[in-house]
Amino acid sequence: MAKKLGFLVNIERCIGCHACEISCKSFYQLEPNMRRRRVTELPEELVGTPVRAFVSTACNHCDEPACKKACPVGAYTKREDGIVVHDQNMCIGCQMCGKACPYGVPQFNPVKKKMDKCSMCYDRLDVGQLPICVEKCPLEAIQIVDYNEVEPSNSVSVVPTFADPSITHPTTHFILPKPGKQTRRF
Amino acid sequence: MHDLPLVIFTILSQLVIGGFVTLWWLDRKKCPISRQSGLMISISLVVLGAISVLISLLHLGHPFEAYRAILNIGVSWLSREVTFYGMFVGLSVLYTWFWLKDEAGKRSLIGGIASAIGVIAIFSSAKIYMIPAIPAWNSVTTLFSFFLTSLILGPLFVGAFLAIRGELSANISGISITALIAAAIVMVVYFSSLQGGLPQAVEAARLTTHQLLFWIRLFTFVIAFAILTFTFKNQYKQNNIIYSLVFVILFVSEFLARFQFYETAIHL
Ligand code: SF4
Ligand code: SF4
């Protein structure tokens, strides 16, 4: 059976150090304001009791990618293993994919005048290496999972600030932090 | 503003298609239009069509590679828009040629085909924007408002042109007033659905109505409606000035509405 690769982001582990974001940016030599992965802070009331939580997101390599449907030149392909690849040589920079993606993932590169997005480092995966973000996270909070093989039971497919997954069926899953114990002082 | 080329492109292309269908229709209905007037209107529509295409290219990072934009016609509405609008402009050149040659039969046939393709182009254009990622756009009101822009501006453009040349023999006010009433209904439905929609839609409504542009849009819309209604009776007299004036007012009004459509679009 074909693979269905996706990110599994462990919010419980993430300390918000931005190493994934910056290592990716530096590896791909992105322009100053561009990011293929972003770390943002989540609302404190995420799991009932207040927690300080961060989430790292990139392209969700969706099952029904809106970017692919919108692109007039067919610059997007979904590989057998589920990775959604953007071909910059094809792109004419109309930015329609950025509008159509519910997660606003594709970003305009102001120098190349083309769009840019996470490729799940497929060329590294193809030679047995890990994506840069996965490799550089000091807490091993990002993994690549084949969701056709395992569906981690403790994971969820949506967190606050994440758009409705029924639109494009993103493959990214998240592990939520455990609610902390409330200590009441009298 | 980054989407300005798209504002101009959508307004101009809808005006051109509406004008084209009007000219074809009047000509077909045997309303007397001199060859010179037909040719002049037809040429001006071709020129406006070509300008709209050139302006739309400004929106691209790589305008010289725009020809590739038809490659994904199987799934992408943007590809379809580019293809059908391109075909429409091409056919309108041919249509102009038949005005020049004064061949009414061929003109009517090519005009009919081009009109149908123009309608598909507007449909494709609206479908580009009906995407869940932007709740304020993701509604059938987008489709209606794109067609109504065409219906509001197109007939008035041709009507004003013919009136200036003293050749207008059809009732343009009727269709314009009907289009304005329909547009007013769509506007009410649009804002109430935004208010009852997702937070991004509510925010889009708030942003729109808090800009002065919105009130100028409404004011010009109402003024144009009033002028057309009050002059409805004497539509065959002096309508060169009336139609030209109302066309300009409504062009500004539709332009502002479209500008706000892009400007206040909030992404999920
Ligand atoms: S997250 Fe956006 S860019 Fe990535 S595959 Fe899904 S729709 Fe496309
Ligand atoms: S910006 Fe490039 S990749 Fe995105 S829709 Fe346009 S042509 Fe396709």
Q: Do B131 and A90 touch (CB under 8 A)?
A: no
Which chain B residues contact residue A69 at CB under 8 A?
A: 75-76
Tell whether A73 is within 8 A of chain B (Cβ): yes
Domain count for chain A, please give it. Answer: 1
E strand residue ranges, chain A: 5-10, 38-41, 54-57, 76-78, 84-86, 107-109, 114-116, 142-146, 155-156, 173-175
pLDDT, averaged across chain B: 94
Which chain B residues contact residue A164 at CB under 8 A?
A: 132, 268
Q: How many helices (H) and strands (E) does chain A have?
A: 5, 10
Q: Ligand 2 test: best mutation among A34, A73, A85, A99, most atoms within 8 Å of CB?
A: A73
Q: What is the ipTM of this complex?
A: 0.90
Please check the confidence at residue A153 and state whether its pLDDT lies above 80. Answer: no
CA dist., res. B88 & res. B116, Å (int): 9
Interface with A, mutate which of B68, B70, B85, B142 (most A CBs under 10 A): B68
Q: Nearest residue CA, atom 5 of ligand 1?
A: A61
- Find, among A58, A63, A60, A67, the residue nearest to A94 by Cα: A67
What confidence category does residue A80 fall into, taking pLDDT thresholds of 50, 70 and 90? very high
In-domain check, residue A34: yes
CA dist., res. B268 & res. B256, Å (int): 24
Quick one: pLDDT at residue B188?
97
Interface with A, mutate which of B65, B70, B129 (most A CBs under 10 A): B65
The secondary structure of residue A44, as a DSSP letter, is G
Please check the confidence at residue B234 and state whether its pLDDT lies above 90. Answer: no
Q: Which residues of A11-33 are buried (b: 16+ CB within 10 A; e: fewer)?
A: bbebeebebbbebbbebeebeee
- The angle at the Cα of B79, spanning B86 to B204, to the nearest 5 degrees, equals 105
Give me the domain span that covers residue A99: 5-175
All structural domains of chain B with their residue ranges = 1-129, 132-268
What's the predicted TM-score (pTM) here?
A: 0.93
Please check the confidence at residue B1 and state whether its pLDDT lies above 80. Answer: no
What confidence category does residue B236 fall into, taking pLDDT thresholds of 50, 70 and 90? low
CATH number of the domain residue A94 falls in: 3.30.70.20
Q: Tell me: the pLDDT tens digits for A7-22?
A: 999 999 999 999 999 9
Distance from Cα A15 to the centre of ligand 1, integer Å: 25
In-domain check, residue A9: yes
Q: Tell me: the pLDDT tens digits for A120-148?
A: 999 999 999 999 999 999 999 999 999 98
Please check the confidence at residue A85 and state whether its pLDDT lies above 80. Answer: yes
Q: What is the mean pLDDT of residues B184-197?
A: 96
Instruction: List the single residue in B with minimal CA-CA distance to A166.
Output: B132
In-domain check, residue A126: yes
Q: Report the percent of chain B where pLDDT is more than 90.
A: 90
Q: Which residues have C-beta within 8 Å of that of residue B225, sequence separation ≥ 6? A: B177, B180, B184
What confidence category does residue B2 fall into, taking pLDDT thresholds of 50, 70 and 90? confident
Is residue A140 exposed (0-12), middle (13-18) or buried (19+ Cβ within 10 Å)? exposed
State the nearest Cα–Cα gap between A162 and chain B, in angstroms. Answer: 9
Q: Which of A114-128, A142-156, B94-108 has the lowest mean pLDDT?
A: A142-156
What confidence category does residue A184 fall into, taking pLDDT thresholds of 50, 70 and 90? low
Q: What is the mean pLDDT of residues B114-134?
A: 98
Tell whether B266 is within 8 A of chain A (Cβ): no
Nearest bound ligand to CA A85?
A: 1
In-domain check, residue A185: no
Please check the confidence at residue B165 and state whether its pLDDT lies above 70. Answer: yes
CA dist., res. A52 & res. A42, Å (int): 7
Q: Which residues have C-beta within 8 Å of that of residue B175, sequence separation ≥ 6? A: B151, B155
Task: Say which of B68, B77, B133 has its CB closest to residue A92.
Answer: B68
Which chain B residues contact residue A90 at CB under 8 A?
A: 68
CA dist., res. A36 & res. B143, Å (int): 34
Tell whether B46 is within 8 A of chain A (Cβ): no
CA dist., res. A95 & res. A107, Å (int): 8
Q: Report the percent of chain A where pLDDT is more than 70.
A: 96
Tell whether A125 is within 8 A of chain B (Cβ): no
Q: What is the dihedral of CA A159, A162, A167, A168, to 10 degrees?
A: -90
Q: Tell me: the pLDDT tens digits for B25-73?
A: 999 988 889 999 999 999 999 999 999 999 999 999 999 999 999 999 9
Quick one: pLDDT at residue B31?
81
Quick one: pLDDT at residue A45?
80
Quick one: pLDDT at residue B45?
98
Is residue B245 exposed (0-12), middle (13-18) or buried (19+ Cβ within 10 Å)? middle
- State which ligand 2 atom lies nearest to the alpha carbon of A95: 1
- Find, among B133, B44, B122, the residue nearest to B81 by Cα: B122
- Find, among B116, B115, B99, B118, the residue nearest to B107 by Cα: B99
Quick one: pLDDT at residue A151?
75
Decide which of A2 and A30 is more confident: A30
Quick one: pLDDT at residue B235?
57
Is residue A111 exposed (0-12), middle (13-18) or buried (19+ Cβ within 10 Å)? exposed
Tell whether B267 is within 8 A of chain A (Cβ): yes
